[in-house]
Amino acid sequence: MSDGEVSIVEVKEIGEEPIVIAGLPDVGLVGLIAVFHLASKTDMEEVGFIESDLLPPVVVLHGGIPKPPFRILRSGRLVALISEIAIPASAVPKICRAIVEWVSKKKAKLLVTLGGIPVEERYKLDKPRVYATASSREVVEDLKARGMEILDRGYLVGPYASMMRLAPLYGLTAVGLLAQSFFNYPDPDAAASVLEELGKLVGLEIDLVELREKGEEIRLAARDLMKRTEAELARMRKGQEYDIPPLHV
């Protein structure tokens, strides 16, 4: 593999026209926690991984077996992307382009990014609200018709921003589901909120009881990855998500 190349390796059949769900480390680790829970509830199996020298030389040990930290999981038509390491800010553009190209080659029916949008005093909110964004006006109108709240104005920064920007260029329909979340504390409640909305979007009933009950344990166990992710978020200037864009006509 040459410098800066990104390979998406399939070790099992993935099939065409999947619904691809991305759960990458971001604010509150919302997407990652959500996809881990989804994978456990739908018995997802590992079907591939992402390899690149842009990623740090890390493997994750599970049951004594080294695994690539950036993996592809599948259950039926659902395909999930997860990363157990913070994605280096400098690697985000190439990795996201490779993902979007691959999702496009798979003729995915839908690309859904699960994540958080940081809000001040998140700890005072009982239940985080979820906002949606989409790759085209038609999809935004469809989401509105389904009763979803749209993230009308604001900035997105990071992997999902790259993926949402590239998706229409590759003819993909992409939806971003973003729950109000902590910036740098793991947020399982926000993960439960995005999974609720994902369930409505793709017609899937997801049991969220365990996620909510074990929320504090998840917050404790996810702190180290949150700390590393926070450093990469700072390098991406993620704080810009608190900014309000200038008015336009």
234 forms part of the interface with other proteins (CB under 8 A)? yes
Residue with Cβ nearer other proteins (76 or 239): 239
Residue from 11, 59, 150, 221 binding other proteins (CB under 8 A)? 221
Contact between 111 and 167 (Cβ < 8 Å): yes
In whole angstroms, how close is the CB of 124 to other proteins at the nearest point? 6
Interaction between residue 170 and other proteins (CB under 8 A): no
Q: Which is nearer to other proteins, 169 or 234 (CB)?
A: 234
Residue 199: enclosing H or E segment and its boundaries?
A: helix 188-202
SS3 83: strand
- 59: contact with other proteins by CB under 8 A: no
Number of residues that bind other proteins (CB under 8 A): 22
- From 8-16, 35-43, 68-76, 216-224, span contacting other proteins (CB under 8 A): 216-224
Q: How far is the CB of 62 from other proteins (least distance, A)?
A: 10
Q: Is 185 in the site for other proteins (CB under 8 A)?
A: yes
Please, which residue, 141 or 243, has the CB nearer to other proteins? 243
8 Å CB contact between 130 and 179: yes
Amino acid at 51: E
* Residue whose token pair is 């939806």: 175
| Region near other proteins per CB under 8 A, out of 100-108, 131-139, 161-169, 219-227 | 219-227
Closest listed residue to residue 87, CA positions, set 201, 238, 197, 188: 238
8 Å CB contact between 190 and 26: no
Amino acid occupying residue 46? E
The verdict on 184 binding other proteins (CB under 8 A) reads yes
What is the spatial distance between Cα 48 and Cα 20, in angstroms, rounded to a whole number?
A: 13
Question: How many Å apart are CA 59 and CA 214, to the nearest integer?
Answer: 26
CB of 118 to other proteins, least distance (A): 11
At 92, list the tokens.
């985000």
123 binds other proteins (CB under 8 A): yes
Measured CA to CA, the distance from residue 216 to residue 9 in angstroms comes to 35
Q: How far is the CB of 144 from other proteins (least distance, A)?
A: 31
Judged by CB under 8 A, does residue 227 bind other proteins? yes
Q: Report the amino acid identity of residue 204.
A: L
Which residues lie near other proteins (CB under 8 A)? 123-124, 182-186, 215-217, 219-221, 223-224, 226-228, 230-231, 234-235
